[in-house]
Every structure is written in structure tokens, then in C-alpha cells.
Chains A and B, each alone.
Chain A
Amino acid sequence: MIDTPLQFRDPALAHAMAATLKRLVEQLDRPAAVMHVCGSHEQAIAKFGLRSLFPKALDVIMGPGCPVCVTDVPEVDEGVLLARQGVRLATFGDMLRVPGTVASLADAQADGAKIDIIYSPRQAVEIARNTTDEVVLFASGFETTAVATAAVILDDPPPNFSVLSAHKYIPPVMEIVAEMPGSRIEGFLAAGHAAVITGSAVFEPFVERNRVPVVIAGFEPMDILAGLVELVDLILAKTPRVVNMFPRCVTREGNLAAQEQLWRVFRPIGGRWRGIAHVPNGNLRLRDEFAHVDARKRFTIDLPSLWDFAPPALARQCICGDIMAGIRNPRDCRLFNRECVPENPIGACMVSNEGTCKIWHLYGGVPDLEASA
């Protein structure tokens, strides 16, 4: 390496931290499972080969941490139907290949629908300003991204701009996973960037109710290892509480201005997350006072017209749901890296850069390579 390694990427420190983790897990004297709920955590774990540092007895599971993957089939269908009506749909590139009931947005695009790939909600507003077409922002993402959508809605967008919200809210789904029958999850690693917005306090009621610890961690190798050490320490001590291990960015209150904008524009409602379950308060929808920018109110979207359809046989073998619930991993799936590859995804987890299957594919498909060559 020519540049100086970042402090957060110091392998010697990482090995020392891994040794501490191993010692703590040995003290625990039984296998334990913890879950993180963020694609960026899985990215870092896979990219740096961290799984080979984790103790065998500690199962680090990726939960429903990919917003694109949990976007439900009918939500994709709504986007497809809008695009087919001739509106210009602006969305993130990851959304393009997510399978809907009969078609993905990529299929709609191949059939002539106008779909713009954007990097931020603000670009969708720019597109709307430069056209007379109706422009719909098909917005996906957790509370981190929803804040950016709320900001453009509050910033006086042009009249031909509206939003189809598939935004999701993470805290409620943690309850679902914690309460799932057969759940082995004894602690959660929460995503640092989401907590920048929500603050660490948002997890306190969850810990009260479920009696499992939550540790907020950043995304560098040292962040993740230190987060796991803290988590196992809390499990050992049987003192479940919220610990903020990302204090360089996260406060207890979070970003109050962003929260104010988020909840001024959105309200949480229950809805299905693909492959997971119905999640009470898990979906973010526009409040009534923003009906004028709500694509669901502005356009007629005839969903049942798509639903006279049986899913292809391959899709029925997909175990994305179990993977996102942390019950199984990609290697348990007979489609993984065979029929299901990023170029031809069968399930949503192979579509997004934050999906477990896509990440495992990208980084060799064997995340826990033994230390020997």
C-alpha cells in the first residue's frame, strides 16, 4: 500500500481485537448468534474477510438490512404500472432488476418505459424541472434515505413531481426478528449511519421490551470488531442496554432537524417486507397534507391487473426470506451462484449491492475461509 493505512483498518489492532472477542465468547461457553441489520456492515465484513476472524461459536448474521431486497413485490408492481402509464420514473439503480409479479423495472424499460437512474432524490427534482412530463421518484431506502426524500418534498418541488414511497423504517423490524419463533438472536449490531439520524435513544424501548442488547457501530473493520466485543460483553454480563460505539457521528438524540423533517412528511404504517413478514409501522408513507406529491394519490394504479399470475418455479426455490430473517445463509440455497447470479437474479438478495447473496457472490461466495491457504 502506498498511502498510509487508515487507523480504522489496522490489521494488527484487528487481530488483537479478534483475540479479545474470542476470549469473551469462550467465557460465554456456548454458541451464540448476533444480528446486524445493514448491508454496509455485511459489505465490510465480506470485503475485509472479517468472518475468518470471528470465533466459530459466534454466529454473525445479516438480517433484513437491505432496503431494496425487502421492497415488496406489489411495491415494484406499482412502479412498473406507473412506468407503463407513461410517467417518467426516477429511481436508484439497484431497484431496476428487483423482480415484480410479472416484470421488473428493467423489463418495463426494455419495453419502452422512461426510467431514469438517479444517485439522490434531488436529481429527480432536477429532471422534473427540465421536462413537462410527469416525473415520479420511486423512493426506496431506510430512514437515512427517507430524510433526503423528505427534504426535497419540503423544498417546493415543481408541480409535475411526485413520490412513490417504498421507504422502510428499521426499528420495528428488529422487534419482528427478535420475536420470531426459533430466533437465536441474543444481540443486535445497529447501523451507525441510520443512528446518525435517529439517535441512539430510538433503540431504548426495544431493549426494554426484548431484553437484548443493541450496539451501534460504524463501518470500518475496527468499528465492527469493537462493536461485536461490546455486544458479547453485554450478553455475558446479562445487562441488556444500548451502547453507542460510533460516538464520532452518533448522539443520543440524533439529528433533530432531520427527524423533524422525516416525521413531518412521513407517517409509519404497517406493511409487508419481502420475505420477512407484515411489519407494523415498518413502511413510511406520505402524510395526507402531502397528497399533492403522493404518486399513489395522483395516479390510478390498478395492481390486481398484474396479479393473475403464477410465479416461475425457480422463484419458489428462493430462500431470500429465511436469509433475511437470519435462519439460513446463501450457501443453503440451491440457486445461489448457479441459476441465481447478479446478471440474472432470481431473488431480491442477489439484486442489490446491499443484499446478502450479492455480497457473498462479489466477495468469493465463501466468507469464512479457513486461515490456511
Chain B
Amino acid sequence: MNRVALKQGGGGRAMRALIEKVFVRDFATLPQHELNGGVGISAMDDGAAIKLGDDWLVITTDSHVIHPIFFPGGDIGRLSISGTVNDLAMMGATRVLGLTCSVILEEGFSLEWLEVIQRSMVEACIESNAPVVTGDTKVMGRGELDGIVINTTGIGLTRTLVRDNGLSAGDRIIVTGSIGEHGLAVMAARHGIEIDGDLLSDVAPMNSMIATIVGDVTAMKDPTRGGVSSALHEMASKSGVGIVLDERAVPVLPAVRAVGELLGIDPLHVANEGKALLGVRAGAAQDVLARLHQHPLGRRAAIIGTCVAERPGSIVLDTGFGKRLLAEPEGEPLPRIC
């Protein structure tokens, strides 16, 4: 019997294949004319967009599971609000109309922990100016669930809709800050690796930063699971361009570089929860960069690549020494054992 494998939730090629084969194929056959030329399920974008008068109504949903649920720099509560706010922002909807919050708990889960998680959610809502307007709670038996799962759905309005497929040759790629912190902080916590100095998840709602530059982007995506590599591959392949990535320009904190080398994991393949990849016209790149630098979340923003007509769908990594193709991760990267 064929069964679902863990890697099919890892954010890489295996997950995309599962979604395409099982869900999108069938859902896409249903009438989606109410989208009025907007974005539906077959686009496999960060969310959907439905035309409402002069505006676009953007809808996105995300279920959050993470181990450990408390990690350096955040917890599942902060993650579940930020993740959905960011998915809305990635389509241009930086003003959040409302969020839903569904929580599924395992019998025996600590109430104290739940209250900490709840406070984190409220904090993230205040930061992103996003109200939770409705919710749902379920409890499952011991062992039927690993602690807690939080689903949030968000709706937002925007005049300008941003897609992940709008890159053209000549566009510059900007990353809004240093990469790899979330994934490596969580992995270090999971494997009990103690590090001197700070390695904190970057989990944060980005909508206030994105609002300052949203009018100037040609494409946008947040490099969550699968990291910068997976997100750039998706943007390049949907846009029909190649991307030349300058590895030396990619901002990476020393702690991330060190832990990455220790575990044998490339920060380019690791999840971020407070960073965005932007495509911008070459002429606008410096101006967008300057605006990002003024926002607390965008201080380390950098131009890291250029779109080219050659090798559509591929990412060419210029290491400074030589060039190679960047591989798209298949599933979640595992720490090197030996």
C-alpha cells in the first residue's frame, strides 16, 4: 500500500508533487469562476485572490505544527499568527481584515503552556494590527496528536495583487534580511545542540515592512519550509526565468553559518519565518533596498541575485569561487550524522 511519507510535508519537491497529484487536480476541476480572473487553487500561490469591486480579497490558510513548540525566539503561537499574516502580505494584502484561529489540543496538554501560547498570539496580532475574529477548539485523546496544532486563516484586501510568478529577465532579487535563523534555531533546539551566542528564530509578522515597498515588486514569496532555495526555484519556474544567485551577497549570521556547517545543512535550504524574497525592476532596486533598511525587520536586506532568460526554472549559484546549480530540496534537510 502506498502511504504518505514525512518528506511530503517538508516544503520541497515531494510536497509539491503530492499537492499537485492529490488535491489540486480535483479541486481545480470545480467551477472557480467567482474568482473573476483572480488567483485560484491551480496557481498554488501563497493564497487565493477574488475580485471585489476595485480591490482584491485575499484568503490564505495554514496549519501550524512544530517540534519543539517553544523554541529560541518564539513559539507555535507567534508562528501561527505570523505565518498567515505573512502569506497575505506576500500577495500584497498588508492590511489584515481578520484572522480565524482553530486549536486542536491533545488531552493532558499543559494549560499553563496554552496560556503562554495564547499571549504570544496576542502579541503577534498587535504587531501586525490583525484581529482574530473567530475560532474553534477541539481536544483529542492522548497519543492521537502531538500536543497542539493551530490552524489560522486570514483575509485581507489589496488594490495591487502581487504574485510569485511575475519575474522577468533583468529583475533583481532582494532578500529582506539574514536567512536560515528559524530553521537552524529549531533544529538546534530539537537536537539539543547548545550554542554560545544568539541563534534565535526570526519569526515575525512582516506586513508593516512589506507595506512600504509593495507597490514596487514584480513578484514576492516568503522562504518558509524548503528555504530560499525552494522559494526561488518555485518563483523561477512559475515565471519562466533563471536566477543567478550571488552567494556572497546573501546575508547569513555567523551563528547560522557555524551551526549549518556543524550539522552539514546549507542555510539556503532552511526555513525562515520573517523574511521575504522580492523581485524588483533593476532601476527600482536601490530605492526599495533603502526603504527596507529603514524598517526594523529590513535592516539587513540585500540584493542577492538577478533574473536571466537562460535556464528557466534553474538557480545558478555563484559561490565566488565558481558556479554551480543550486539543488531544490526534496524534503526537509536532516542533520549530517557522520
CB distance A2 to B300 under 8 Å?
A: yes
Asked if B308 CB lies within 8 Å of chain A CBs, one says yes
Within 321-373 of A, Cβ neighbours of B (below 8 Å) are at 341-343, 352-354, 361-367, 369-373
What total of chain B residues lie within 8 Å of the partner, measured CB to CB?
38
1/0 per residue B247-275: CB within 8 Å of A?
01111111001000000101000000000
CB distance A92 to B337 under 8 Å?
A: yes
From B14, B321, B323, B337, name the one whose CB has the most chain A CB atoms within 10 angstroms.
B321
1/0 per residue A104-132: CB within 8 Å of B?
00000000000001010000000000000
Asked if B119 CB lies within 8 Å of chain A CBs, one says no
CB distance B322 to A52 under 8 Å?
A: yes
Within 215-252 of A, Cβ neighbours of B (below 8 Å) are at 221
Asked if A308 CB lies within 8 Å of chain B CBs, one says no
CB distance B253 to A369 under 8 Å?
A: no
CB distance B7 to A50 under 8 Å?
A: no
- CB neighbours (8 Å) of A221 from chain B are 321
Q: Which one of A52, A352, A361 contacts B338 once the chains associate, using CB atoms below 8 Å?
A: A352
CB distance A49 to B324 under 8 Å?
A: yes
Question: A353-B336, A373-B244 are contacts. A361–B327 as well, Cβ < 8 Å?
Answer: yes
Within 1-18 of A, Cβ neighbours of B (below 8 Å) are at 1-3, 5, 11, 14-15
Q: How far is the CA of A153 from the CA of B238 in the complex (A)?
A: 56
Q: How far is the CA of A308 from the CA of B331 in the complex (A)?
A: 36
Asked if B200 CB lies within 8 Å of chain A CBs, one says no
- CB neighbours (8 Å) of A168 from chain B are none
Within 283-338 of B, Cβ neighbours of A (below 8 Å) are at 300, 308, 310-311, 316-327, 330-331, 334, 336-338
Main secondary structure of the interface of B (DSSP, over half): loop
Asked if A48 CB lies within 8 Å of chain B CBs, one says yes
What total of chain A residues lie within 8 Å of the partner, measured CB to CB?
43
Q: Which one of A11, A365, A367, A371 contacts B320 once the chains associate, using CB atoms below 8 Å?
A: A11
- CB neighbours (8 Å) of A354 from chain B are 338
Asked if A94 CB lies within 8 Å of chain B CBs, one says yes
Q: How far is the CA of A140 from the CA of B337 in the complex (A)?
A: 13
CB distance A51 to B327 under 8 Å?
A: no
- CB neighbours (8 Å) of A362 from chain B are 327
CB distance A373 to B325 under 8 Å?
A: no
CB distance B323 to A1 under 8 Å?
A: no
Asked if A68 CB lies within 8 Å of chain B CBs, one says yes
- CB neighbours (8 Å) of B325 from chain A are 363-366, 369
Q: Which residue of chain A lies nearest to B317 when distances are taken between CB atoms in the complex?
A: A49
Q: Which residue of chain B lies nearest to A39 when distances are taken between CB atoms in the complex?
A: B338
Asked if B94 CB lies within 8 Å of chain A CBs, one says no
Asked if A55 CB lies within 8 Å of chain B CBs, one says no
Question: A11-B248, A373-B311 are contacts. A342–B330 as well, Cβ < 8 Å?
Answer: yes
From B254, B310, B320, name the one whose CB has the most chain A CB atoms within 10 angstroms.
B320
Question: A53-B321, A94-B338, A373-B316 are contacts. A3–B327 as well, Cβ < 8 Å?
Answer: no
CB distance B264 to A353 under 8 Å?
A: yes
Q: How far is the CA of A370 from the CA of B336 in the complex (A)?
A: 29
CB distance B321 to A50 under 8 Å?
A: yes
Question: A68-B338, A373-B242 are contacts. A1–B322 as well, Cβ < 8 Å?
Answer: no
Asked if B178 CB lies within 8 Å of chain A CBs, one says yes
Question: Closest 6 A-B residue pairs measured CB to CB?
Answer: A93-B337, A364-B325, A49-B322, A52-B322, A11-B320, A92-B338
11 contacts between A and B (CB under 8 A): A2-B252, A11-B320, A47-B266, A47-B319, A49-B319, A49-B323, A53-B321, A53-B322, A95-B338, A354-B338, A366-B324
Give the A-binding residues of B (Cβ under 8 A).
5, 7, 14, 178, 242, 244, 248-254, 257, 264, 266, 300, 308, 310-311, 316-327, 330-331, 334, 336-338
Give the B-binding residues of A (Cβ under 8 A).
1-3, 5, 11, 14-15, 46-53, 68, 92-95, 117, 119, 140-141, 221, 341-343, 352-354, 361-367, 369-373
